[in-house]
Structure 1
Amino acid sequence: MTQATASSGVSGSEDSVGAGCRYETPPASELQRLMWTKLGSSGHMDEVQPRIYIGDMYAARDKRALQGHNITYVLNAADGRFNVNTGADFYRDANITYYGMEAYDTPSFNLSRFFYSAAEFIKTALNSPDGKVLVHCVMGLSRSSSLVLAYLMIEEHLVLADAIKAVSANRNICPNAGFLQQLRELDIKLHCQTRCE
């Protein structure tokens, strides 16, 4: 399914990251088929990897439920006045560390500029004793799942297809077409570097 090839002298589709290296990520249509595998509908919040949760705006605003799940970090991928306007003050009495990103769920939005900072925040949460992190947006389908997928690719070194399988086994996800393309570009960059350094 996922192919990685290192070759010398191949032109045309070579990635500029590594001369002579080409990593082929699956086409978007194949990746989309991997996403909706969980039976039933998505809940407000699901643990998609150990201590990593993806959720929607209702989960983000339910401090009692967050405390019940021992959530200690919240990454809001839909921060801002016209999105899910919580912020650090909202979580102060719950002893939750907050990080907000003002991102929009449109294919033209450049979410990739947040991939590394989101991955670092998630890594920090997991490196803290008993740390658990909720990554959310409005519906918990596109922005939040894209950031968790990027984390798994950057920090856990999974190829995109494997990251999608790991997350979608526990929650139905649906990055928009633009985000999926940005994740495919990240996949090529990361795995071309890994195989060609």
Structure 2
Amino acid sequence: MPRGLGSMASPEVQAGSYETPTASELHRLMWTKKGGNNRMDEVYPRIYIGDMYAAKDKRTLQAHHITHVLNAADGKYNVNTGPSFYRDTAITYYGVEAFDMPSFDLSPFFRPAANFIKNALSLPTGKVFVHCAMGLSRSSTLVLAYLMIHENMTLVDAIKAVSANRNVSPNEGFLEQLRRLDTKLHCH
């Protein structure tokens, strides 16, 4: 672990006793925010999660100074924006053609998507908008993976951080994939 990051981890991780919670325990953590979802919410400094309507509203994206868009529902049968949709803006685009089905393996996209977010945030004014169709499952899964991979959070801490600002709900399959990532990163 890089020096200095240990203090950011929760006490259970430092003591080496952290275990990935069950899916039902994780579900209890997710719906903590009062009220409904907005079109887009800042869920972590300079990281926003939202839906396809916000993704297609270039004026709103520019008003929020979004520099990068990660579409977790890319493709012609999903939210078909793509780099050409944003060509008249300064927005950098990255698309993941994922389907919101428990059988879909999103885990191969965890690191590439996390690296895209990290690169965006490495810019002094970088802001990332991560979306899928509704801003609940695919997009939140990729943001949670980013927080685990690059911010050294456990899955529990990542869910708490995101759900403080937006109700999120990765489908059962995605939640299992996040649990496996959590075990790999934090359980020794």
Q: TM-score, normalised by structure 1?
A: 0.87
Deviation at 1:179, TM superposition (A): 0.2
1:172 partner SS: coil
**CA distances 1:151-181 after superposition (whole Å, capped 9, x unpaired):** 0000001000010000000000000000000
**CA-atom RMSD, angstroms?**
1.6
Aligned to 1:147: 142
Q: Is the 8 A contact 1:2 1:24 kept in 2?
A: no
Q: How many residues align?
A: 178
In 2, Cα distance between equivalents of 1:57 and 1:2: 38
Q: Is the 8 A contact 1:2 1:161 kept in 2?
A: no
Aligned to 1:162: 157
Could you tell me which runs of 5 or more consecutive residues in structure 2 were left unpaired when the two chains were aligned.
1-9
**CA distances 1:106-158 after superposition (whole Å, capped 9, x unpaired):** 00000001000000000000001200000000000000000000000000010
In 1, Cα distance between equivalents of 2:99 and 2:60: 26
Could you tell me which runs of 5 or more consecutive residues in structure 1 were left unpaired when the two chains were aligned.
7-21
> Between Structure 1 and Structure 2, whose CA radius of gyration is higher?
1
- Equivalent residue runs for 1:100-119 within 5 Å: 100-119=95-114
1:93 partner SS: coil
Q: TM-score, normalised by structure 2?
A: 0.91
Structure 1 segments, 4+ long, off by >2 Å, are 1-6
In 1, Cα distance between equivalents of 2:143 and 2:26: 15
1:174 partner SS: coil
Amino acid paired to 1:63 = K
> Which of residues 41, 51, 54 is equivalent to 2:36?
41
Aligned to 1:178: 173
- Equivalent residue runs for 1:17-56 within 5 Å: 24-56=19-51
In 2, Cα distance between equivalents of 1:89 and 1:101: 15
Amino acid paired to 2:144 = L
In 1, Cα distance between equivalents of 2:92 and 2:183: 32
In 2, Cα distance between equivalents of 1:180 and 1:23: 18
Amino acid paired to 1:118 = A
Q: Percentage identity across aligned positions? A: 70
How has the CA–CA distance of structure 1 residues 62 and 141 changed in structure 2, closer, same or farther, with 3 Å as cutoff?
same
**CA distances 1:26-61 after superposition (whole Å, capped 9, x unpaired):** 110010000011111000100000000000000000
Deviation at 1:24, TM superposition (A): 2.1
Q: Is the 8 A contact 1:2 1:26 kept in 2?
A: no
In 1, Cα distance between equivalents of 2:18 and 2:105: 22
Aligned to 2:88: 93
In 1, Cα distance between equivalents of 2:50 and 2:110: 18
